[in-house]
Amino acid sequence: IAFIMYRSHTCGELRLADVNKEVTLSGWVQKIRNLGGMTFIDLRDRYGITQLVLDVESRKDLSEEARKLGREFVVQISGKVAERSNKNNKIATGDVEILVDKFVLLNPSELPPFTIEDETDGGDELRMKYRYLDLRRNPVRRNLELRHKLGFEVRNYLNQQNFIETETPVLIKSTPEGARDFIVPSRMNPGEFYALPQSPQVFKQLLMVAGFDRYFQIVKCFRDEDLRADRQPEFTQIDCEMAFVEQQDVLNTFEGMTKHLFKVIKDVEFDFKFPQMSFEDAIRYYGSDKPDVRFDMKFVEMKDMLGECGFKVFDDAEYVGGICAEGCASFTRKDLDKLTDYIRKPQIGAQGLVYVKYNTDGSFKSSVDKFFDEAALTQWVEAYGAKPGDLLLILAGQKTKTQNALCQLRLEMGERLGFRDKNKFAPLWVVDFPLLEWDEEAERYHAMHHPFTSPKKEDLALLETDPGVVRANAYDLVINGVEIGGGSIRIHDDELQHKMFQLLGFTEEEAENQFGFLMNAFKYGAPPHGGVAFGFDRLASLFAGIDSIRDVIAFPKNNSGRDVMIDSPSPIAKEQLDELNIALKKIK
RNA sequence: GGUCUGGUAGUUCAGUUGGUUAGAAUAUCGGCCUGUCACGCCGAGGGUCGCGAGUUCGAGUCUCGUCCAGACCGCCA
């Protein structure tokens, strides 16, 4: 049988032991180095680079042919493996080269718009437009290989723990709670629409009612909200649910999964139980529900200590708090001015920054020397546990705003002091989230997590009297200040679920219309259950040590939710619109 | 919806106080070169300074508008 054998080996596998073998390779021309009498070609595929040699003296014809090649041409070559006289220890195949005696041009290539190299000269926009070329580059390819491995190990681990991967529908039902839905018109049901799932939440709960016990799914979710570096309109979750569990069971299971992933993929071992911190403490000490605990630098609240102190900024403030930056007393006036500018940026919005330099000789220099004497400042540095050489940075103002600004300042200082090492990982469970959040605009409560989250038993009575302080059986896994996953123990009682909808301002009819199927299911023996969903893209970017999730997604969308490669979204034909019974208000 | 930053050669960028022919690196093309691997040397081509208007004797540079991109705020149960 005649067939073409495109390759006997990949471009990454030949070694000294292969010398003298006759081999055939196929790949892309990475680089041509023509030295006149001889030509070197780097041939690249997914697996690596192999150097080809063409010698004018022995094969003038091939050397002539090779002159017509360009970057990214696809070629197939055959030849003998030889030991190099000059070895290259930077690549795995650097000890050998191929003495080419036959080559076939499989496909020429236009000149790529940017260089296909680790350090490309291409900008983000161009790389996205030609993403198929960008994906040829090692760093991007490696990210996707890492993502593959992560998904594989998630399945491996959860399978061993008896979880069943089940697909849930993508064309579902729109609900007003939560994020904006992506909407899909139904041709067969004029005037009616599907929604794409923001998460398979209700389906996984129904699977628990169905007795599936342990479910997971690596699944696309969709939210029609504005994008960020760590937010895409379609993203992937590791969605999980378990029956007959309480909070600590879920935490144990997924702490186990997280440890497994770190061990097999990063060779990082956590020989401790992940710490747990209440939402309340997270806000008090770090000003955030997703604190970066790779470093300490906890907030110190000063309001009680200060009393009426005569410094108007502090006296008028609802909150006065600060952090101690180790060894930063040597900051110059200019450094401090820059920090002040930083916290006054509109996104952060603090008014000003009070500093106290605790000099190495034990003296003080502060921006509030006029108001506080040495005795007062001594009391401060004691409260902060500061040592000589440290710098106190203090903000004052409205409580949540100031805590938020202080959080940003803490992260900035952590960055400057080198505490935010990408190779160091600090996991943290944040627990005891509030059940409800007051929505100023709508003048009602909405669920902080989602309306299926159960309140803590001990707080149940408060639901009637003071719903705002009721805590939920809800938890987040935070690693290095990134919210990697979150979940809750759900309500499995239709009466309590009814009550929740009522609290959230649903009328009986609305609740029935939108979630009647769920409450109905709860009437048929729903087991206690709870679960978690991990942001798969964020997990992958954390493992890859990069800040943007775009580089761990094969074909991501840009800031405006566009795919610049396929140019979507795009208008559709009038016939399509007619068929869907859709009239556009205005067409550009 | 808002704030900020940017848009100049294929690409990444520089471009001073508004002033002569808009530069560098890299990529590309041509020539030379037998051990390169960031090859080297010599040479060449390559520009709607995002788009539109305004100010000015004169705009890459200043003003306004607009489009695009990125970061962030709002938003993201």
CA separation for the pair A338, A342 (Å, rounded): 6
> Within a 10 A sphere around the Cβ of A44, how many other Cβ atoms?
20
**Contact, A92 CB vs strand B, < 7 Å:** no
- The answer to whether residue A390 scores a pLDDT higher than 60 is yes
Residues 6+ apart with CB under 8 A from A175: A181, A195, A514, A515
Calculate helix-pair angle for A508-522, A494-503, nearest 10 degrees: 160
Residue A451 pLDDT exceeds 60: yes
User: Does residue A13 have a pLDDT over 80?
Assistant: yes
d(CA A142, CA A137): 9
pLDDT of residue A3: 59
**Per residue in A115-163, pLDDT tens?**
999 988 888 899 999 999 999 999 999 999 999 999 999 999 999 999 9
What's the Cα-to-Cα distance from A68 to each of A99, A101, A103, A107, A108, rounded to whole Å? 19, 17, 12, 12, 10
ipTM over 0.90: yes
- The answer, yes or no, to whether residue A346 has pLDDT greater than 80, is no
A30 touches strand B (CB under 7 A): no
Six-digit token string for A464:
């009637």
What is the structure's pLDDT at A345? 81
Rg of chain A over CA atoms, in angstroms? 30
Instruction: Return d(Cα A97, Cα A23) in angstroms, integer.
Output: 11
Q: Give the pLDDT confidence score for residue A2 in this predicted structure.
A: 52
pLDDT in tens, A352-387: 899 999 999 999 999 999 999 999 999 999 999 999
The region of weakest confidence among A48-57, A175-184, A245-254 is A175-184
d(C-alpha A302, C-alpha A394), whole Å = 9
Give the confidence band of A49 by pLDDT, cuts at 50, 70, 90. very high
Tokens of A521: 């299911």
Residues (169-228, chain A) with CB within 7 Å of strand B atoms: 177-180, 198-199, 201, 223, 225-228
CB under 8 Å to A458, separation ≥6 — which residues?
none
Residue A35 CA to nucleotide B32 C1', Å? 10
The pLDDT of residue A193 is above 60: yes
List residues bridging with A474 in a β-sheet.
A488
Residue closest to A409 by CA, chosen among A326, A342, A486, A497? A342
Nucleotide nearest A559 (Cα, C1')? B70
**Average pLDDT in the A459-466 region?**
92
The separation, in Å, between residue A114 CA and nucleotide B8 C1' comes to 18
Average pLDDT over residues A85-105: 95
Residues in chain A, overall count? 588
Q: Which residues neighbour A315 within 8 Å (Cβ) at sequence distance 6 or greater? A: A308, A309
Residue A450 has which token pair?
Answer: 């989602």
Q: Which of residues 378-417 of A touch strand B (CB under 7 A)?
A: none
Least confident of A226-235, A441-450, A471-480: A441-450
| Region A216-227 average pLDDT | 96
pLDDT at A341 over 50: yes
**pLDDT for A1 beyond 60:** no
Residue A529 is which amino acid? H
Contact in structure between A343 and A350 (CB atoms under 8 Å):
yes
Chain centre distance of CA A172: 26
CB proximity A545–strand B (7 Å threshold): no
- Please report where in the chains the tokens 């996984």 appear, as a residue: A204
| Residue scoring higher pLDDT (A370 or A338) | A370
pLDDT reported for residue A588: 42
First to last CA, chain A: 58
Nucleotides on strand B with an atom closer than 7 A to protein CB?
A: 1-4, 10-13, 25-29, 32-40, 68-77
Examine the pLDDT at A289 and tell me if it is beyond 70. Answer: yes
Spatial distance from the CA of A25 to the C1' of B72 (Å): 48
- How far apart, in whole angstroms, are the C-alpha atoms of residue A144 and residue A149? 9
Nucleotide whose C1' lies closest to the alpha carbon of residue A450: B77
Distance in Å, residue A559 CA to nucleotide B53 C1':
29
| CB < 7 A to strand B: residues 8-27, chain A | none
Q: What is the mean pLDDT of residues A305-309?
A: 90
pLDDT of residue A362: 93
Q: Before A569, cis peptide (omega within 30)?
A: yes
Q: What is the pLDDT of residue A587?
A: 47
Find the range with the poorest average confidence among A3-7, A263-267, A300-304, A368-372: A3-7
